[in-house]
Chain A
Amino acid sequence: MQLLDIKNLTIELTTPDGLIRAVDRVSLSMREGETRGLVGESGSGKSLIAKAIVGVLNKRWRVTADSFGWRGQELSNLPYEQQRKIIGRDVAMIYQEPSKSLDPTAAILDQLEEAIPDHRLEGPWWKRSYMRRRRAIALLHKVGIRDHQSVMQSYPYQLSEGICQKTMIAMAIAKDPKLLIADEPTTALETTTQAQLFRLLASFNQLKGMSILLISHELELIARYTQSLSVLYCGQLVEAGETASIIKQPYHPYTHALIKSVPGFQPNLPPKTPLYALPGSIPVFQHLPIGCRLGPRCPNARKECVKTPALERLHNHYYSCHFPLIGNKAP
């Protein structure tokens, strides 16, 4: 069953120079129990999409979409409060800077307890606070924090980033969400903690069927932990499909370049060879190229690329390029 189905999500920023389209008609769909990766360079609009789904962008951003389907229900027809209620109940999010996402003046216990919704607690009302505490401790154990007593009494500044991120995950899973959005959850963490967290997320996915949208710029990590993949460049969706098939055979020149730039994907790379990279750098938002935004950097760009290519489909593999790399035509 389709869990999430967003069609043509557009996010624009009003600036003195006019409207800037930071995310340009991106479609995103997820099945229940799926783990999907969202890859792109920094500034490609990954976090914007996540924040738009959860609904925490500020008023400066204008969010529009053709449709926002959630478990077969069209959310854009519902009133705002209803949307927030559904999203607040079913979607949880964890952030890239865990210590900044926790209230600095509240103890962990208070913050964890308020994330536990009332309908998750059984028993009569006079037992509620006791149950709540029990559940908070259980949640901490679930995310691998054994020393719950001292963590619960601590303030965020007293804890390491790894513990903070674990408590953030505990808060996120407190309501048993259908979808967990992890927005670069491990950027501030060291490698061993990173691996722990990904294993944790993977176990929630397998045991509870929780869908995970994993946002990152590290293709290697994403390839290891996700089933399907969406690649963004500069606010445009360039390619989407199953992770394995995209890594094996990318259709879009950008994905191709991205994969070639990671040494881990090229087992027989001789030592001291320069890594492959596209010329130039990601354009600033004030000077976006028209048409395909990769145009000026693309090795096989042609005249047609000034028109934005439509999203095309080959089996379960979507790509938006006029000249896809089908039939092993390497650029």
Chain B
Amino acid sequence: MIMYLLRRLFLLVFVFIALSVFAFSLAYLFPGDPLQNFTGLRQISPEQYALLTSEYQLDKNYILQYLAYLSRIFSGNWGMSFSSQQPLLQEMKMLLPATLELASYALLISFFIGIPIGILSAIKPDGVFSKLVSAVAVAGYSIPIFWWALLLIMLFSLGLGWLPTAGRIGVLYEINHVTGFMLLDILLAATQHQHEALLDALSHLILPTLVLATFPTTVMVRFTRDSILEVWEQSYIKAARAKGLSRGQVLYRHALRNALLPVIRQIGLQFSTLITLAMITEVIFSWPGIGRWLIDSIYQRNYPAIEAGLLVISTLVISVNMLTEILHTLFNPLARKR
């Protein structure tokens, strides 16, 4: 087991090195001056240029440049944003929690709604409920997310006026940025209108979470259902039935564990899709997250920001992937065999 963990970590290190090499080379691959792309400074005077070139070691060979780049990354000097001339790391620290908040709630919904519905619909695969669930799941799976978001906005925000269309919280409330997670920050803030602020934040949260959760939830429903139906055909299930256990006992003791193990792995695989969808959702709902910021940066040709955003998001996706892989191995004795 320890060997396995070490091997995984070793692989992770290599992936990160490759990733940082790619991010580093982007400064050269993007149009414009590499020094501008690295520093994010727009106007650089000749004296400053010479100073920065030696500081960034741009007069040396690529390997030394790369090492200097790495040491800057680790020391937290990620350069400036072209558009705001603010340090990128600080900017992203403000934005990333918003995206994580949205994505984690969507993931939780897909867990606590998707998996039980999948299990229920696998109990009677030919029943009305199961057919209905399958139909809804296929619809949810294939609906374009931006259209679905617009439909929901039309209905709940413009038509019924129940929910706001944009932002994380109303402008009336002032919440200090502590953790970056809005609900947590409100609970920590201890202002006198805490209760109202919480309700307001929740009402802002409902639509984006719903839109973002649609895809992973339907994936979970379909995957859990198929997984259980497949496991149900295995001979150890028949053997357990022949032991005299009831259907419920067999489902609980044998079918669920065997069927849900692949689901853990599925989370890791779905996470990259989830982040991509989160970017679209953020744009539609003006959610101040890293996805919207990255898309804006692409429009503004804000090269340092694209580079940094790419690095952060890929690191996140790869780490989550690796984590689910390790969890899967921990829980599945069969995977430990190798």
Interface residues in B211-260 by Cβ distance below 8 A to A read: 233-236, 238-246, 249, 253-254, 257-258
User: What is the distance, in angstroms, from B40's C-beta to the closest C-beta of chain A?
Assistant: 51
Segment with Cβ contacts to B, from A19-27, A94-102, A304-312 = A94-102
For residue A65, CB closer than 8 A to chain B, the reply is no
Q: Let me know if A114 and B243 touch, CB within 8 A.
A: yes
CB neighbours of A56 from chain B (8 A): 238, 241-242
Which residue of A is nearest B243, CB measured?
A115
Segment with Cβ contacts to A, from B11-19, B135-143, B293-301, B329-337 = B329-337
CB neighbours of B100 from chain A (8 A): none
CB neighbours of B254 from chain A (8 A): 103, 106
A residues apposed to B, CB below 8 Å = 51, 54-56, 58, 84-85, 87-89, 91-93, 95, 97, 100-106, 110, 114-115, 117, 155, 157, 168, 171, 175
Q: Let me know if B236 and A102 touch, CB within 8 A.
A: yes
Which residue of A is nearest B247, CB measured?
A84
User: What is the distance, in angstroms, from B231's C-beta to the closest C-beta of chain A?
Assistant: 10
Q: Let me know if B258 and A104 touch, CB within 8 A.
A: yes
CB neighbours of A103 from chain B (8 A): 236, 240, 253-254, 257-258
CB neighbours of A91 from chain B (8 A): 242
Q: Let me know if A100 and B236 touch, CB within 8 A.
A: yes
For residue B261, CB closer than 8 A to chain A, the reply is yes
Q: Complex formed: what's the CA distance from A85 to B333 in Å?
A: 32
CB neighbours of B238 from chain A (8 A): 51, 56, 101
Which residue of A is nearest B255, CB measured?
A103
- How many of B's residues come within 8 Å of A, CB to CB? 23
Q: Complex formed: what's the CA distance from A114 to B243 in Å?
A: 9
Q: Let me know if B243 and A104 touch, CB within 8 A.
A: no
Contact among B233, B242, B337 with A54 in the assembled complex (CB-CB below 8 Å): B242
Q: Is the interface of B mostly helix, strand, loop or mixed?
A: helix
Contact among A97, A105, A115 with B333 in the assembled complex (CB-CB below 8 Å): A105
Q: Decide yes or no: A89 and B239 within 8 Å by CB, A106-B257, A155-B333 being known contacts.
A: no
Q: Let me know if A104 and B239 touch, CB within 8 A.
A: no
Q: Complex formed: what's the CA distance from A56 to B258 in Å?
A: 19
Instruction: Name the residue in B240, B244, B246, B254 with the highest tally of chain A Cβ atoms < 10 Å from its Cβ.
Output: B244
Q: Let me know if B245 and A114 touch, CB within 8 A.
A: yes
User: What is the distance, in angstroms, from A119's C-beta to the closest C-beta of chain B?
Assistant: 12
CB neighbours of A104 from chain B (8 A): 236, 258, 333-334
Q: Let me know if A157 and B241 touch, CB within 8 A.
A: no
Q: Let me know if B236 and A117 touch, CB within 8 A.
A: no
CB neighbours of B249 from chain A (8 A): 114
CB neighbours of A171 from chain B (8 A): 243
Q: Let me know if A157 and B334 touch, CB within 8 A.
A: yes
CB neighbours of B334 from chain A (8 A): 104-105, 155, 157
Q: Let me know if A101 and B243 touch, CB within 8 A.
A: no
User: What is the distance, in angstroms, from B308's C-beta to the closest C-beta of chain A?
Assistant: 42
